[in-house]
């Protein structure tokens, strides 16, 4: 050992970066996209959100109407909920008490998991670096909308980072819709009402809170349909591999447009 260096052991500067790009045959590149915490919290979140929606539908069926204000408006509801098949419910039959147990347990899973993901996102600066759109991103918003409308998605170097629409959608879900689901749900909880009854007043009453809670759930369902649709469209195996192992394959760069899936030319 000389000068604090153990012979045969690489110093920090010589240690290979485990997350550096890995060249693949045919000019493709394997790039590291999602750290373990993001992957685990994503799949915990998917489980919690799906169970929350299915048990939430069961709870909704105990009073399949939506209203605005403090009280339900018998005979003139804002929305009447149509029948929902049992296979979409948790448990798979009408049972308010059991559905509430599932809903409240997974609400805690959702909250704790979400807080861990948020804390990590801010501390590691993942939000700044990967999710928050830059001015440059925003300037490219309309061209990106046109590309999306034509179902053109880059698969080469351009796919290394999320595009501006992806960034805006993820940020909107993480910072607006998911917290809205949580706050509207919390405002209806009798336990929380004892200390935070003001939340119900802000919402305009229990029926408004219930309707807003339903709207946030519907926005989440809409997001899941488009999100999963795009996961399939832009390369199911590659996207799923990224969210399971962390690694994502970039195709070799080609003249603009040639690598785009859905491009008829
Ligand atoms: C079965 C349902 C779902 C599947 C198959 C799925 C799949 C995926 C995949 C493959 C990615 C990585 C995309 C990429 O690397 O370009 C991803 C990212 C993401 N998903 Fe999902 N997802 C699902 C449900 C959800 C739900 C319910 C939410 C939230 C309500 C959600 C929120 C997100 C977010 C915010 C990201 C970006 C995370 C980050 O980079 O920090 N996903 N999803």
CA–chain centroid gap for 224, Å, is 8
What mean pLDDT comes out for the span 157-168? 95
- Structure confidence at residue 7 (pLDDT): 55
Residue with CA nearest ligand 1 atom 25: 46
- Structure confidence at residue 261 (pLDDT): 46
Q: What pLDDT band is residue 4 in, cutting at 50, 70 and 90?
A: very low
**108 burial via Cβ count (<10 Å: 0-12, 13-18, 19+):** exposed
The domain spans of the chain are 37-234
Q: What pLDDT band is residue 14 in, cutting at 50, 70 and 90?
A: low
Q: Which residues line ligand 1 (CB under 6 A)?
A: 33, 38, 42, 45-46, 49, 170, 173-174, 220, 223-224, 227-228, 231, 239-240, 242-243, 248
Pocket test for ligand 1, best of 30, 31, 42, 125 (most atoms within 8 A of CB): 42
pTM score:
0.88
Distance 227 CA to ligand 1 centre (A): 7
- Structure confidence at residue 2 (pLDDT): 42
Q: Distance between CA 190 and CA 196 in Å, rounded?
A: 10
Residue with CA nearest ligand 1 atom 19: 42
- Structure confidence at residue 260 (pLDDT): 45
Digit-coded pLDDT (tens) for 44-95:
999 999 999 999 999 999 999 999 988 888 778 899 999 999 999 999 999 9
- Structure confidence at residue 255 (pLDDT): 62
Ligand 1 atom index nearest CA of 49: 27
Note the CATH number of domain 37-234. 1.20.950.20
Of the candidates 19, 88, 33, the residue with the CA atom closest to the CA atom of residue 248: 33
**Is pLDDT above 80 for 138?**
yes
**Is pLDDT above 90 for 258?**
no
- Structure confidence at residue 13 (pLDDT): 62
Long-range contacts of 183-191 (CB under 8 A, 24+ apart): 184/209, 184/210, 184/212, 184/213, 184/216, 185/107, 185/213, 188/213
Q: What is the dihedral of CA 111, 112, 113, 119, to 10 degrees?
A: 100
- Structure confidence at residue 197 (pLDDT): 74
């Amino acid at each position: 050992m000389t000068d604090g260096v153990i012979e045969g052991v690489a110093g920090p500067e010589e240690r290979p970066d485990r997350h550096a790009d890995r060249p693949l045959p045919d000019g493709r590149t394997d790039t590291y996209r999602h750290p373990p915490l993001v992957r685990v919290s994503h799949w915990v979140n998917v489980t919690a959100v799906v169970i929350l929606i299915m048990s939430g539908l069961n709870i909704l069926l105990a009073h399949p109407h939506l209203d605005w204000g403090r009280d339900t408006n018998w005979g003139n509801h804002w929305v009447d909920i149509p029948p929902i098949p049992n296979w979409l419910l948790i448990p798979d039959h009408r049972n308010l008490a059991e559905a509430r147990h599932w809903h409240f347990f997974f609400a805690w899973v959702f909250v704790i998991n979400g807080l861990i993901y948020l804390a990590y996102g801010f501390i590691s600066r993942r939000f700044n670096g990967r999710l928050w759109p830059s001015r440059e991103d925003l300037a490219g918003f309309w061209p990106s909308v046109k590309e999306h409308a034509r179902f053109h998605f880059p698969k080469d170097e351009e796919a290394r980072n999320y595009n501006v629409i992806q960034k805006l959608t993820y940020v909107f879900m993480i910072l607006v819709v998911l917290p809205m689901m949580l706050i509207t749900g919390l405002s209806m909880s009798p336990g929380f009402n004892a200390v935070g009854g003001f939340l119900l007043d802000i919402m305009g009453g229990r029926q408004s809170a219930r309707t807003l809670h339903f709207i946030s759930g519907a926005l989440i369902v809409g997001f899941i349909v488009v999100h999963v649709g795009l996961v399939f469209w832009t390369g199911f195996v590659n996207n799923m591999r990224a969210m399971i192992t962390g690694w994502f394959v970039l195709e070799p760069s080609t003249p603009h447009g040639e690598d785009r899936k859905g491009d008829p030319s």
